[in-house]
Structure 1
Amino acid sequence: MGRGDLTNEEWRRLEPHLPAGGRAARWAGHRRVINGILFRERTGITWRDLPERSGRWKTVYERHRRRSADGTWERILQSVQAEADAEDRIDWSMVGVDSTSCRAHQHAAGARRKAPRTPKKGSTPRQHRPDGGLGRSRGGLRSKIHLASDGGCRPLALLVTPGQWGDAPQMIPVLERIRVPRTGVGRPRTTPVRLSADKAHSSRSNRRYLRRRRIKHTIPEPGDQRANRRRRGSRGGRPVGFDKEWYKRRNEVERTINRLTSFRAVATRFGKRAYVFHGTVTVAAIRL
């Protein structure tokens, strides 16, 4: 076992959630391939430089690309979350939303605009984006990861967008991606008790959405929004409630982002395709 490989306990928890068959034979005995994917995510090396103990680099890359395209990694993440929720290891009392900007390597640019080749002919990858998930902001080409995490610093949902996109418009899409299935009978859990976010996520539409879903929230109001509300008088609505004690727990989502970006292939985007990078972040979330 190499440093950073799956332990026997981790493999015992992960193996039941892997697909039993498919295009590239059965997953049984392919622990080495997954360890190769994790090694590349942890170190950020090119696929061709994988060590010999990981097997053929082409096999490791193609397995990761296919499972990113057909949504297998997302389904595995939901299965792991369902198991954790059944054991009461997910803290729903406070869910945090935040984002982080990832520098794109020069190799990440130059992808073709048309839909890339996928395992199933004529289909579109699950997380394919026409814009490639790349945007030019201050500092060059970047991608942004929007994340929702629970109180235990575990990712619940994520979204990859171009680097110049704002945080407030992406808060609702991220929350709608929270879907933790039940191990028994019942609908998947999608609603936290309370949500915390920084002032970049503050908007009237976001607060209206949270009230409609009966989610308590702790989001500070920026000074310009506060001044605009006061200028409108009674038409501006009531003052926004803000609890400083609850807001102290916002560091939980920031610590989750720090744990995610400890994977070098997450902190810096090397792949050209947005759906492959999304799969890379999802695999890191599974490991956490």
Structure 2
Amino acid sequence: MGRGDLSDQEWARLEPHLPKRGRRGGRWKSHRTVINGILFRLWTGIPWRDLPARFGKWKTVHDRHRRWSTDGTWAKILRAVQADADAEGRIDWSVVSVDSTVCRAHQHAAGAHHRPARIPGRRARPAEHRLDEAISRSRGGFTTKIHLASDGRCRPLAFLVTPGQWGDAPHLIAVLDRIRAPRPAGGHPRMRPNYLCADKAYSSRRNRRYLRRRQIRHTIPERRDQRANRRRLSSRGGRPVGFDRARYARRNEVERTINALKGFRAVATRYDRAFVFHGTVALAAIRLWIC
């Protein structure tokens, strides 16, 4: 077994959720070898053409990753792996934390605008297609932002990819709405955490109303300007927000999750188009769940 390859235990957790048939009805070949090649590139961030020969043809590895990113297969596998973990009691719903991180985007990440991305053999656009390619220009160059929710054991529950200059607060609801752990026995999937922690960048009336409506207890510090405005309005400004210092200290769990994700070089630096990069982040999340 090479460095970064799936162990037998990890393969046993992943294999039941892999697609059995290809686009034309034929069976996929050498799933484990190809996925190990995709994971090797995920770890190292090397160009696809430079993959070691032990993984077979580089184009086979590249095409399978691109196809599964395009049709949302990686996202479906991630939910299935999370469902298994929830059934085994391995998800810590007690405190879920939300944060974001910025990734540098390589100059090749934008793709070619005159060649719209499509699913091979279909007319539909990719599952995570974005017209803006989730890239923005800042002083540091081209950047992409990953908005992330993690459980209490430092594993990703849901994420969203946006341009790097987009704010955090407007995307809290979108990230929480993506939390979905299906139940193998049937019934509604688990979507609501017991408690939520986030930093002051997520402090807004809209977010607090949403959390109260869903009956999610939370600790989000109030920004200084919001606090001053509330005091200026006196009784019309409402009550001060609650703050649980002990639970807020657990916000480091989402930061540790981000560090684990960015340990994969193909996540820390984005080399692919938006829908392929979304599949890359989903694969990194799967790797963290099955290890």
Q: Which runs of 4+ in 1 moved over 4 A?
A: none
Map 1:55-204; keep pairs closer than 5 Å: 55-112=56-113, 115-204=116-205
Q: TM-score normalised to the size of structure 2?
A: 0.96
What is the rounded CA distance, in whole Å, between the counterparts of 1:224 and 1:113 in structure 2? 45
- Say if 1:113 and 1:130, in contact at 8 Å, map to a contact too: no
What is the rounded CA distance, in whole Å, between the counterparts of 1:83 and 1:269 in structure 2? 29
Could you tell me which residue of structure 2 aligns to residue 8 of structure 1? 8
Q: TM-score normalised to the size of structure 1?
A: 0.97
What is the rounded CA distance, in whole Å, between the counterparts of 2:257 and 2:119 in structure 1? 31
* Overall identity of the aligned pairs, in %: 70
Structure 1 pair 202/178, CA: closer, same or farther in 2 (3 Å)?
A: same
Could you tell me which residue of structure 1 aligns to residue 231 of structure 2? 230
Amino acid at match of 2:286: I
- Say if 1:20 and 1:28, in contact at 8 Å, map to a contact too: no
Give how far 1:86 is off: 0.4
Give how far 1:136 is off: 1.0
Could you tell me which residue of structure 2 aligns to residue 22 of structure 1? 22
Q: Secondary structure of 1:126's match?
A: coil
Could you tell me which residue of structure 1 aligns to residue 280 of structure 2? 280
Does 1:243 pair with 2:244?
yes
Give how far 1:113 is off: 6.2
Amino acid at match of 1:4: G
Consecutive unaligned residues in structure 1, runs of 5 or more:
none
Give how far 1:111 is off: 3.0
Give how far 1:78 is off: 0.4
Amino acid at match of 1:22: G
Consecutive unaligned residues in structure 2, runs of 5 or more:
none
1:214-257: CA deviations, max 9, x gaps? 00001111101111111112221111111101101000000000
1:91-128: CA deviations, max 9, x gaps? 00000100000001122235316631322421010000
**Alignment length (residue pairs):** 287
1:142-184: CA deviations, max 9, x gaps? 0000000100111000100000000000110000000100010
RMSD: 1.2
